[in-house]
Amino acid sequence: MNVIASGIVRKMRSRLHNPVSYSARLGDNEIALNPLLGRKVQLNFSGNIFCIECGRKTKKSFNQGYCYPCFKRLEQWFTCLIRPEKCRCQDGDCIQSHVVYLANSSGLKVGITRMTQIPTRWIDQGATQALAIIRVRSRLQSGELEMAFKQHVADKTNWRDMLKGKAARLDMAGERDRLLATCEEDIKELKARFGFFAISILKGIAPVIIDYPVEAYPEKITPLNLDKEPVVSGTLKGIKGQYLIFDTGVINLRRFSGYEVELQA
């Protein structure tokens, strides 16, 4: 096999094409992955890990790519990502337009993301259908809505089920209408709390359909881990979410952000 590129892993870049177009990012290199489908591919981990925030070498990666000092410095931001309903930020990414959406990855789920992260967020979750339903002005507001909605619909993706195949097609507009009707009083209360114009229900938007470059889904999900096996190889059968699907197993490339890796094919 030939060495294609080497460098520090960052999350894959994706573009909404039919199917989704993926690129691996290793240091300053960006390598198109779709053309590698059906070919033998190998990842070689050097043993070196670097912080994706400050660049310092570290023995362990925290929160998908950070050294411990950067992780602690950014802890409030990470908390906002995980528990948006507890967000108390007064500036930055949290104080900008967010969208509450429905997605179908391993079944119906509710989620939130910044406007600028659509459709990237949906692709990262391996959603085959997605529909934005409400626009708000801050992460806190989106978190409060998500808290109300997840009493009636899941808020997590089952990554194993997502990698086993395409989720059954859903009537996303119908699911939206059902959820909005069920949570009508919660929405009214939040509008009274944050202001009528802070929460806008989105109308006339068609669901987004997402197709992934997958030749064959695995019958059994076998996670591959660079910490345990520094060499991961196999025939690349597909790419979905942030996972590479090999005939030997699956690897969440984003999990190993900051790892120094050589890509061969």
Q: Which residues pair with 193 in a beta bridge?
A: none
For 18-39, the pLDDT digits (tens) are 999 999 999 999 999 999 999 9
pLDDT at 14 over 80: yes
Write out pLDDT tens, residues 91-117.
777 889 999 999 999 999 999 999 999
Given a cut of 90, is residue 86 above it in pLDDT? no
- Per-residue pLDDT of 158-194, as tens digits, reads 999 999 998 999 999 999 999 999 999 999 999 999 9
Q: What integer is the mean pLDDT of 134-142?
A: 95
Instruction: Write down the residue that tokens 């990470």 correspond to.
Output: 78
Report the half-sphere exposure of 117 (CA within 13 A, side-chain side). 18
Burial-class residue 192 by CB neighbours within 10 Å (0-12, 13-18, 19+). exposed
pLDDT, position 76:
79
Tell me the whole-structure pTM to 2 decimals. 0.94
Domain range annotation of the chain: 3-73+217-264, 85-209
Share of residues in the chain with pLDDT > 70 (%): 99
pLDDT, the chain, mean: 95
Instruction: Flag the least confident range among 75-84, 100-109, 141-150, 229-238.
Output: 75-84
Residue 130 identity = A
φ and ψ at residue 208, rounded to 5 degrees: -90, 130
Mean pLDDT of 205-227: 97
pLDDT at 13 over 80: yes
